[in-house]
Structure 1
């Protein structure tokens, strides 16, 4: 199955049923590991909103929720700079923090968020990401503890991820189709 967004064509990569099953397993793992704690889940907007909502539906323990919004992307690639748009207004000192990301690729944005969060001296910080591109990492991150899917270094849309602001509403995840080069 393929979809077209703006000037690009995308092919199916992960169906919603796969995402839902993996999210359920991540929820079980988080429930066990934070059984006697009250973690604060911090969703990284905009991309994480669908994953965060589905993940929280699987969480049975007491928890709190907050959001941060940062941006480092334009089109298909990172700008190399992180711009904080909306900051955290919650005290993180001595709290157990779980950052919820849609995707970790270069690690630039996540590294920035982790530095910001750690300045407030939380008890612990772990990252839960739906998608992880190990071959794209340029900023090594040790705090990634929960990964939905490892994927190749390909541009993806759907399930919260966008291309030029479009495609976030797709329930499945799609990868960009290879465009044949002109000779």
Structure 2
């Protein structure tokens, strides 16, 4: 695919990273009341894989939250689909595909705590520390990456490329004309 500039992480590398993260999470949450909270839509492949890798009796739910339009993080957080599970006294692990500015997850972490969650932690496949606008502790981080526009393994550009089994860098020519 000429639209893909480079493959950052292969399908096999992703599987190994998910296994490693799952083992750590399983150990940390084996005696807790774990609720995985996936942030739609990008989390879906990672959420399914990490859930199987954790191999614990757990609950899960989803939220759809937006602060993006195209390739730009807008900074304003909007909840499009709220969680439907009672979270009081639950140990929540937010499952995110990628952390960019951290604004959305900082907002969600505070919101979930205010609603009575016992604890709130984050697991992400990718993190871009150079883009961070807020201090955000991330307990489980797959990979730290430079500021590239990445796609695949649930991540998209205008709903394209989500189904790729690997994580790649999108060629700038794909989105540079649409950012006027």
Q: TM-score, normalised by structure 1?
A: 0.90
Q: Structure 1 residues 3 and 29, CA, compared in 2 at 3 Å: closer, same or farther?
A: farther
Higher-helix-fraction structure? 2
Number of aligned residue pairs: give it.
174
- Partners of 1:3 and 1:140 lie apart in 2 by 36
Report the counterpart of residue 113 of structure 1 in structure 2.
108
Q: Aligned partners of 2:76, 2:39: CA distance in 1, in Å?
A: 16
Could you say which residue in structure 1 is the equivalent of 2:11? 16
1:178 CA displacement: 5.4
> Matches of residues 1-183 of structure 1 in structure 2 within 5 Å?
2-4=1-3, 9-142=4-137, 144-177=138-171
Matched position secondary structure for 1:154: coil
Q: Gaps (5+ residues) in structure 1?
A: none
Unpaired segments ≥5 residues, structure 2: none
SS at match of 2:15: helix
| CA deviation profile, 1:106-127 (whole Å, cap 9, x unmatched) | 0111112112211112111110
Paired residue secondary structure (1:71): strand
Offset at residue 3 of structure 1 (A):
4.1
* Distance of aligned partners of 1:172 and 1:3 in 2 relative to their CA distance in 1, 3 Å threshold: farther
Q: How much is the aligned-residue C-alpha RMSD, in angstroms?
A: 1.5
Cα distance in structure 2, aligned partners of 1:170 and 1:41: 23
| Cα distance between partner residues in 2 of 1:106 and 1:11 | 23
What whole-Å deviation, never above 9, does each CA across 1:134-157 have from its counterpart, x for those lacking one? Answer: 111001112x10001111111100
Q: Distance in 1 between matches of 2:38 and 2:75?
A: 21
Change in CA separation of 1:25 and 1:146 when aligned onto 2, cut-off 3 Å: same
After TM superposition, the runs of 4+ consecutive aligned structure 1 residues lying more than 4 A away are none
TM-score (norm 2): 0.91
How far is the alpha carbon of 1:167 from its aligned partner?
Answer: 0.6
